[in-house]
Amino acid sequence: MPHILDTADADFETRLSALLGMKREESPDVDATVAAIIDDVRQRGDAAVIELTAKFDRLDLTPDTLAFSAAEIDAACAAVPLAERAALELAAARIRAYHERQRPEDARWTDATGASLGWRWTPVSAAGLYVPGGLASYPSSVLMNAIPAQVAGVERLVICAPTPDGAVNPLVLLAARLSGVETVYRIGGAQAIAAMAHGTQTIAPVDKITGPGNAFVAAAKRRVFGKVGIDMIAGPSEILVIGDGTGDPDWIALDLLSQAEHDESAQSILITTAQSEADAVRAAVDRHLTVLERRGIAGSSWRDNGIVILARDLGQAAALSDRFAPEHLELCVDDPESLLTRVTHAGAIFLGHWTPEAIGDYIGGPNHVLPTARSARFSSGLNVLDFMKRTTLTRMTPEALAAIGPAAETLAISESLQAHGLSVRARLDKLNS
């Protein structure tokens, strides 16, 4: 049974605070293991990666077979059924069109002193995408990570996609091909993150690593951050639905279960202003859990982490949603546009009864790599800018330096940085000579 709360109850704030403080992230003691793996890969390169792949994925590789050959990728792509290929191609086209609009513009101007100022945007030179393997093998994640990088102009993009026991998901390789990625390594885990960050004899290091993974992958990303950039440390998936009694209970129940079926640590939340809707959705969830293929996982998620809150009105519902800062937010209300203006914190927002979150996972266009665990309060989903850097530009004329240089010299002296001040003074003296 999910957690049931009513904002009118005297203990509501106490119970809500406890739920907001829940730690759903997996926290096994993996850091020491990951540290050893990273050090091993740094020291021995290919040999360490090959040994660790044999140990964890039960797959024997050589330096020549770390990556899929072009022929293997061709064969995998050819094996994809036409309907699935068409769906993936449509998704790729929509994702690309959306992200093309995110490309930033350079700027340059001259201020009142005559100084030329501005900025320019340039892509990182190389990026590595991690794609989970086994049961959690998602071609949609390939598109969501690789296409923004390609739109940004990243020159070299590689993928690490583990294939436990040699099992290959052809859709993952087709997604890589559709995204313009030709180099796909069949390695995973912390060893793949270490290889992309530090490089091996075969695998060249990258500048940024993105993509989801298990606790070992997350720990490895934390450890290599600084050596390379990373996108985020994503936790279990989450969805929050705001209702006003006008929604279809079956639709809302399925939307909640669409995240609950990801894993047992996922979280599904309903905040509604109608008691009748709260009761009907709970009943619908119970019905669907009797037939859902992943009912064991979804049922555990709903029982342990699910929340249903009865709110006084939609203004209060929006305020409560902001406190959760959910990864996915559905506004299943009669007037979603008005409610949208009252929401501040969410990774992605889905407006109206006809916009299920699942559309965003696959085909909508916006990115599905989103901040979790309330981090939408201060961060955004993956986008083109994550693969670019903004470099500032400054050019002084003699007149501009004469106008603002003395102030810079004064501030340098106040900070006891003599050479700073002298570097400005030398030029000012030249002007006055």
Closest CA to 273 of 239, 320, 306: 320
Query: Is residue 22 classed exposed, middle or buried when 0-12, 13-18 and 19+ CB atoms within 10 A define those classes?
Result: middle
| Mean pLDDT (the chain, rounded) | 95
Contacts by 16-22 with C-beta closer than 8 Å and gap 24+?
16/309, 16/320, 16/323, 19/307, 20/323, 20/324, 20/374, 22/305
Strands across the sheet containing 183-185: 183-185, 156-160, 126-130, 208-210, 229-230
134: left (phi over 0), alpha (psi -120 to 50) or beta: left
Determine contact, residues 175/92, Cβ cutoff 8 Å.
yes
Note the CATH architecture for domain 3-25+235-364. Answer: 3-Layer(aba) Sandwich (3.40)
pTM of the model: 0.93
The whole-number average pLDDT for the span 313-322 is: 98
**Domains 3-25+235-364 and 31-230 are alike in CATH topology:** yes
In the predicted structure, residue 215 carries a pLDDT above the cut 90 = no
349 HSE (CA, 13 A, CB side):
20
Q: What percent of the chain has pLDDT over 90?
A: 93
**What residues are annotated to the active site?**
327-328
- The position carrying tokens 């700027």 is 107
| In contact, 119 and 149? CB cutoff 8 Å | no
Tell me the CATH architecture of domain 31-230: 3-Layer(aba) Sandwich (3.40)
What is the per-residue pLDDT for 303?
A: 96
pLDDT tens per residue across span 9-44: 999 999 999 999 887 665 667 889 999 999 999 999
How many helical (H) and strand (E) elements, i.e. helices and strands, does the chain have?
Answer: 17, 14
Rounded to an integer, the average pLDDT of 256-278 is 96
Q: Which two tokens stand for residue 377?
A: 């309060």
Give the pLDDT mean for 95-120. 98
Closest CA to 346 of 367, 368, 365, 371: 371
Distance from C-alpha of 89 to C-alpha of 93, rounded to nearest angstrom: 6
Say how far apart CA 141 and CA 126 lie, in whole Å.
18
With 60 as the cut, is the pLDDT of residue 338 above it?
Answer: yes
Contacts for 320 with CB less than 8 Å, ≥ 6 apart: 7, 16, 271, 309, 311
Q: Which structure tokens are listed for 112? A: 């009142």
pLDDT at residue 351 tops 80: yes
- DSSP code, position 134: T
Domain ranges of the chain: 3-25+235-364, 31-230, 396-432
